[in-house]
């Protein structure tokens, strides 16, 4: 029989001993705080509970190990019984709980994410430890309830409970002292409900879940997503994307200012739902507001939080979405490499459930993109009636790329514009469902957040960090040079638009030479070009040279001021106002229809015909003096040989007239021109009455 000294009695493992009460208090607090995290709501109190759960849990390892070692040593020589077996099981499951808790803590502090299996083991081992420890203690008390050994059991329970409750009180006090960022979710006092009190963001269709304003801070702060080794690669992609600069785009800012002057600041809410949601939803677009775009909205545009907080969308477009204010982690917006950032990152990684709510299956669908990539004007805006504007979603839905219900055959928005990238990002990998047939949990890839499309102008104009690379990739995208392996089998190869020339094999001098340029949409999942076709330009440049390299015909070559000459074939739209006037300042709020629209539907073709006089002997004119007509001739001495025909399909994001109107005419200021694709052919020039075979 073992005999304990006084020290052992004071700090031993019985009901009356201090170490026993300390161990019980710690375990009870850990149980309460742990279950609060598992079962309770996501708020500041439960987050503080998790922090103190971790802090006290780590501190308690030594006294708990000491206590259970003494407890086992004291009773290990007893005969085997149900109480003893329950005690052994409790010690074993508690050991698993402690080890798994340490591993989760280490991952949360030092890693990028915690393994779900470790969090699950920690939870299950806690429940098992509780399921074995409680019967063990009840049996121990019951069998000795009339002996001296249980005399202090009630005091032991009361002391332990009081100490655990003190820990809970500390948690509550901490949450009162710092409950997180305090947001001011209210409209300015003078906010003008121009379209009705129940439609505060109209004429945009955007809505908040409360139908009230959101503090702009709650939707901004995208840079924190890229800090501390978290979503760094995704953030670097996003920060040069069209989503990021949607509000700071000087073209948007210029047009917004004109709209505000003509129709009032409230009218600009129409644009804000897609271009400037943070400013819109915080009430910045209001009468007497100097800056219709707030600073946070300007910097973040379509931020991480905006996209990932949308709960519901509608395919009617015009920002037809409902957004919920995201719930913050403590120290959500702390700068990197601060104590607050360390605590925030720990909370996100140790308790990722709220963070994981920012990822939804909805975001994978084309319907999600339709909320903004579909636009119309109605009577609220133009005071006349409904007019369809750009509409990428319906184009795609009606095209051959959409095979409803068959993900293996359908090419969706995200598959083209958010191709998979090799990644060590915490977001790499994805669960497999019908929409992710070519993904796996450990594929080490994430979807690109560059959103490559057609704007190769603004990143360079704004001198964005990484803008040069974005422009380069956008150019390659427009030319169809970017390969996307995961959809290679169901997507097309080659350029975005294919082009070919039809011309006679031979022509006699002095005869009219018919030339046809045929363009076929090859890769575009919607119309080509798409977007605001009143400002976008895609045109054909045709050039004919003789055997000596002299230009004998040209069409579509920009002049020295970067304007296109009359007669150039253009894919574009010409909107008009209610009086039939051409809308050429992108003042779409005046638009009631179009007098001309031309674009390529997916898989369809369009043609442009030229009639060119084959050179016959008239004096030639220098290229600079060639009139804007389609009849040309050259001296007789070159009336035989070959004519070389070259056709180029060009693209630029904004026409020169609108650019000069918004930013002023400045030397060298022009949207870069991209050569989408080209084709060439040769026509033999036969001698009159001679052979038609090219030499």
Euclidean distance between CA atoms 130 and 93, whole angstroms:
9
Euclidean distance between CA atoms 426 and 442, whole angstroms:
11
pLDDT surpasses 80 at 373: yes
Edge-to-edge strand ranges of the sheet holding 605-613: 497-502, 512-521, 605-613
Query: pLDDT class for 10, splitting at 50, 70, 90?
Result: very low
Query: pLDDT class for 15, splitting at 50, 70, 90?
Result: low
Q: Which pLDDT score is estimated for 621?
A: 42
Over the stretch 429-453, which tens digit does the pLDDT of each residue have?
A: 876 677 788 888 889 999 999 999 9
Beta bridge partners of 609: 516
Query: pLDDT class for 65, splitting at 50, 70, 90?
Result: confident
Q: Domain boundaries in the chain?
A: 6-177, 207-328+336-351+358-487, 497-685
Q: Which pLDDT score is estimated for 624?
A: 46
- 296-310 average pLDDT score: 96
Over the stretch 573-599, which tens digit does the pLDDT of each residue have?
A: 999 999 999 999 999 999 999 999 999
- 485-508 average pLDDT score: 95
Euclidean distance between CA atoms 22 and 278, whole angstroms:
51
Among 10-24, 305-319, 508-522, 541-555, name the one with the lowest average pLDDT. 10-24
Q: Which secondary structure element, helix H or strand E, spans residue 52, and what is its range? A: helix 44-59
Q: What is the 3-state secondary structure (H, E, C) of 236-266?
A: HHHCCCCCHHHCCCHHHHHHHHHHHHHHCHH
> To 10 degrees, the CA torsion angle through 20, 24, 25, 31?
160
> With 0-12 CB in 10 A as exposed, 13-18 as middle and 19+ as buried, what is 258?
middle
Question: Mean pLDDT in the chain?
Answer: 89
Over the stretch 267-289, which tens digit does the pLDDT of each residue have?
A: 999 999 999 999 999 999 998 77
> With 0-12 CB in 10 A as exposed, 13-18 as middle and 19+ as buried, what is 308?
middle
Q: Which pLDDT score is estimated for 90?
A: 81
State the alpha helices, DSSP H only, in 427-504. 458-461, 467-478
State the alpha helices, DSSP H only, in 351-466. 353-356, 366-370, 379-382, 392-397, 413-417, 458-461
pLDDT surpasses 70 at 628: no
Q: Which pLDDT score is estimated for 133?
A: 80
Q: Which pLDDT score is estimated for 332?
A: 93
- 101-110 average pLDDT score: 94
Assign 649 to helix, strand or coil. strand
Assign 552 to helix, strand or coil. strand
Ranked by mean pLDDT, the top range of 51-65, 72-86, 290-304 is 290-304
Q: Which pLDDT score is estimated for 625?
A: 47
pTM across the whole model: 0.88
Q: Which pLDDT score is estimated for 626?
A: 47
pLDDT surpasses 50 at 9: no
Query: pLDDT class for 620, splitting at 50, 70, 90?
Result: very low
Q: Which of 271, 243, 247, 241 is nearest to 477 (CA)?
A: 241
Residue 438, CA atoms < 13 Å, CB-side half-sphere = 19
Over the stretch 389-416, which tens digit does the pLDDT of each residue have?
A: 999 999 999 999 999 989 999 999 999 9
Euclidean distance between CA atoms 540 and 570, whole angstroms:
7
Q: Which secondary structure element, helix H or strand E, spans residue 500, and what is its range? A: strand 497-502
Q: Dump the DSSP string for 124-143.
A: HHHHHHHHHHHHHHHHHHHH
Domain 497-685 has CATH 2.60.40.10: yes
Q: Which pLDDT score is estimated for 135?
A: 81
- 63-82 average pLDDT score: 76
């Amino acid at each position: 029989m073992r005999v304990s000294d006084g020290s052992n009695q004071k700090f031993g493992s019985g009901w009356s001993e201090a170490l026993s009460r300390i161990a019980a208090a710690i375990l009870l607090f850990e149980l309460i705080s742990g279950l609060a995290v598992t079962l309770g709501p996501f708020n500041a109190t439960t987050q503080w509970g998790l922090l103190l759960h971790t802090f006290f849990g780590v501190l308690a390892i030594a006294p708990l190990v000491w206590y259970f070692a003494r407890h086992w040593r004291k009773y290990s020589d007893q005969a085997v019984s149900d109480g003893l077996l329950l005690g052994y099981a409790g010690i074993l499951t508690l050991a698993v709980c402690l080890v798994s808790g340490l591993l989760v803590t280490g991952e949360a502090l030092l890693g990028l994410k915690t393994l779900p299996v470790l969090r699950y083991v920690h939870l299950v081992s806690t429940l098992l430890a509780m399921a074995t420890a409680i019967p063990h203690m009840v049996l121990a008390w019951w069998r000795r309830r009339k002996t001296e050994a249980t005399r202090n059991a009630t005091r032991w329970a009361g002391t332990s409970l009081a100490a655990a409750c003190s820990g809970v009180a500390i948690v509550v006090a901490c949450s009162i002292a710092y409950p997180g960022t305090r947001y001011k979710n209210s409209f300015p006092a003078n906010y003008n409900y121009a379209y009705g009190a129940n439609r505060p963001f109209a004429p945009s269709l955007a809505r908040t879940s409360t139908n009230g304003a959101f503090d702009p801070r709650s939707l901004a702060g995208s840079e924190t997503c890229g800090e501390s080794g978290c979503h760094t690669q995704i953030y670097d992609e996003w920060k040069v994307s069209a989503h990021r600069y949607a509000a700071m785009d000087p073209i948007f800012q210029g047009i917004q200012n004109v709209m505000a002057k003509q129709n009032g600041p409230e009218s600009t809410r129409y644009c804000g739902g897609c271009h400037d949601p943070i400013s819109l939803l915080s009430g910045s677009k209001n009468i007497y507001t100097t800056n219709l775009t707030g600073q946070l909205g300007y910097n973040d545009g379509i931020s991480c939080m905006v996209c990932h907080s949308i709960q519901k969308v509608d395919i009617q477009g015009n920002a037809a979405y409902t957004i919920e204010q995201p719930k913050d982690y403590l120290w959500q917006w702390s700068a990197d490499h601060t104590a607050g950032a360390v605590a925030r990152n720990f909370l996100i990684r140790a308790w990722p459930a709220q963070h994981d709510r920012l990822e939804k299956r909805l975001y994978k669908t084309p319907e999600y993109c339709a909320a903004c990539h579909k636009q119309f004007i109605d009577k609220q805006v133009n005071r006349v009636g409904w007019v369809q504007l750009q509409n990428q979603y319906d184009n795609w839905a009606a095209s051959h790329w959409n095979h409803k219900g068959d993900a293996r055959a359908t090419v969706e928005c995200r598959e083209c514009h958010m191709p998979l990238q090799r990644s060590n990002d915490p977001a790499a990998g994805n669960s497999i469902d019908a929409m992710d047939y070519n993904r796996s949990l450990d594929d080490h890839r994430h979807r690109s957040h560059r959103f490559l499309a057609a704007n190769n102008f603004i990143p360079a104009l704004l001198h964005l960090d990484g803008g040069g690379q974005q422009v380069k990739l956008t150019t390659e995208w427009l030319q169809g040079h970017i390969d996307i392996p995961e959809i290679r089998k169901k997507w097309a190869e080659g350029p975005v638009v294919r082009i070919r020339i039809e011309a006679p094999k031979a022509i006699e001098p002095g005869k009219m030479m018919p030339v046809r340029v045929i363009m076929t949409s090859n890769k575009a999942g919607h119309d080509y070009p798409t977007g605001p076709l009143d400002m976008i330009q895609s045109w054909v440049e045709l050039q004919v040279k003789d055997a000596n390299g002299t230009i004998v015909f040209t069409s579509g070559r920009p002049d020295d001021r970067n304007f296109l000459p009359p007669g150039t074939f253009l894919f574009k739209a010409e909107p008009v106002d209610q009086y039939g006037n051409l809308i050429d300042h992108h003042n779409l709020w005046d638009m009631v229809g179009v007098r001309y629209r031309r674009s390529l539907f997916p898989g369809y073709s369009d043609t442009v015909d030229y009639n060119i006089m084959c050179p016959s002997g008239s004096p030639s004119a220098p290229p600079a003096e060639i009139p804007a007509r389609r009849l040309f001739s050259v001296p007789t001495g070159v009336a035989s040989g070959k004519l070389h025909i070259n056709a180029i399909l060009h693209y630029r994001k904004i026409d020169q007239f609108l650019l000069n109107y918004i930013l002023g005419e400045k030397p060298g200021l022009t949207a870069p021109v991209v050569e989408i694709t080209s084709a060439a052919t040769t026509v033999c020039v036969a001698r009159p009455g001679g052979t038609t075979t090219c030499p």
